[in-house]
A and B are shown apart, each in its own frame.
Chain A
Amino acid sequence: MENSKNTRRKFLHYIKNFFLLSFLSQFFFVKNLKAKNIKPKVIVIGSGFGGGTCIKFLSKYSKILDLHVIDKYTQIQTCPFSNLVIGNVMDYKDITFDINKNLEAKFHTGQIKYINSEKKRIYFSDDLSMDYDFLILSPGIGFKKNQIDGYSIDDESFVPHCWTGNKKILEFKKRLNSLDDGSSLVISAPEYPYRCPPAPYERASMIANYLMKKKKQFKIFILDSKNSFTKKEIFFNEWKKKYNNSIEWISKKDGGKVINVNNGVVTTEGGLKFSSDFLHIIPNQQASEIFHNSKLTSDDWCSINPINFEITGSKDIYALGDSIDAGDMPKSSFSANSQAKMLSMNLVNKILEKDYVEPVFLNTCYSFSSTDRAFSITSWYRLNSQKNRIVSLGSKESNVDASDFDRLRESKEAHDWYENITKMIYS
């Protein structure tokens, strides 16, 4: 009897303690969450085409996440259409945008030098640091060093490469403007993969467009580290039509790859020598420095899971845009924009504990051959059957022999595309 009474008392005691404990723990838990602010902290590094699109998309979810944005600049100068600035078709101001700070996000200006993925902490160049729950990296590209003897990216005596958005485009134009009649120009085109595959050839076209408008005679040699390039037949056709073969392309197999520069004289792998009045080297590229400094990749490009864009082997760090190995997708702002939407959509799904959606991607890349002549290449992309690689459904280009009307129409579409994508991100 005594025993059963004791047991009942003990049982009631347990129950009482259980309710008391659960009430207290619940109370402290809620208080703790409130104090801690349970929204996961998402930091986006880079406010360019990839990062800028993520911010635009994720800022709509400010109720469920605490969004932070970091860029080293307060103003973005876009690479798309920078060739048109070189060609005097657009003004420098037309491709310069303030970062859009009217969004539900906290903006910070500073350069990130290192990421500690174990501590989930990022470090600024002035050694300040910030913790994250989820990190998104879209910092664009980096450059390989020691690729051409006698050339250094930091040597200001060379024509600036203008392959990242910075103000050196004005210096580039100044040098172009100072060329005499009958000048010889050399462009060294990089090895694959690199940012915007048709851009070196569009740049050659826009330099020609500029010099022709100034009624100057010129010869441009494109010395290539590759044996082919995108939209090649269209470019050849356009160059013949517009510039009377003043642009000459020399492929790698014809000895075009530049290996040495000395006193303005360029030597190629095939032993060809060119003395040039304007030497424009577009350096070989790799993922942005931050990936290498932080040991987020041991390869040239960062490997990701193409479903959610999480970096292989680095939990809760996502990457997109030009620094990643995106399978068949070219490195373009259209691609970065498409990837950003899929990444953001699946990050929100993860936070809401929903299933991932299987992404699909699109890319359209316009190139100009002169002020009002443009053409394009288009492709859809999806995941392969193993879901570990982005593959093309087949790319298609404009016609090689398209009419003047079609070239003009595509140039208008290109301007409208640029207007829309930049307004979407920066306004």
Chain B
Amino acid sequence: MNKILLFIISLIFFRISEANDIRTSTIIQNCNVCHTEKYKKSSSIKSLKTLEKDYFLTKMYEYKKENKNGVMNRILDPINILDIIEMADYLYGK
């Protein structure tokens, strides 16, 4: 967890994101194209509202950090860590 915090803090200070001024709620409306409800048990796409805040942050951090080219890695590319924290606060409270 400490490592995650360190990473988050360093990104806040050193990364300039293209998506800085994107409003959190409008970003989340777009995430909800896929992540509204989990209709099928086996679905790989989770509903955002059923997640824990810690899990959400860890998973998002993973997507940003890992050197893969999956859909989520690409979607998170222009979203910076500040946006992610704001999204987590918005979804699960501060």
Contact = CB atoms under 8 A, between A and B. Distances in A.
Interface of A: 334, 337-338, 341-342, 345, 357-362, 364, 376, 378, 380, 382, 393-394, 396, 398-399, 402, 406, 409-410, 412-413, 416-417, 419-421, 423-424, 427
Given A342-B29, A382-B22, A420 B71 contact: no
Given A393-B18, A424-B36, A416 B43 contact: yes
A361 B23 CA distance: 11
Given A412-B44, A420-B36, 14 more contacts: A341-B32, A342-B29, A358-B26, A359-B26, A362-B31, A362-B75, A364-B75, A378-B75, A380-B78, A419-B39, A419-B43, A420-B35, A421-B33, A423-B37
B40 interface: yes
B21 to A, nearest CB: 8
Contact of B40 (A357, A398, A399, A419): A419
Contact of B26 (A334, A357, A402, A410): A357
Contacts of A413: 44-45, 71
Of all A-B residue pairs in the complex, the 6 with the closest CB atoms, nearest first, are A362-B30, A378-B74, A423-B39, A396-B74, A341-B29, A416-B45
Interface of B: 18-19, 21-23, 25-27, 29-37, 39-40, 43-45, 69-71, 74-75, 77-79
Contacts of A341: 29-30, 32
21 contacts: A338-B30, A341-B29, A341-B32, A342-B26, A357-B26, A358-B21, A358-B23, A360-B26, A378-B75, A380-B19, A396-B74, A409-B44, A410-B71, A412-B44, A416-B44, A417-B34, A419-B39, A419-B40, A420-B36, A420-B43, A421-B33
B43 A376 contact: no
Contacts of B40: 416, 419
A421 B25 contact: no
A378 B26 CA distance: 17
Contact of B37 (A362, A380, A394, A420): A420
B74 A420 contact: no
Contact of B78 (A376, A393, A410): A393
Contact of B33 (A359, A362, A376, A427): A362
B25 to A, nearest CB: 7
Nearest to B35: A420
B71 A334 contact: no
Nearest to B40: A419
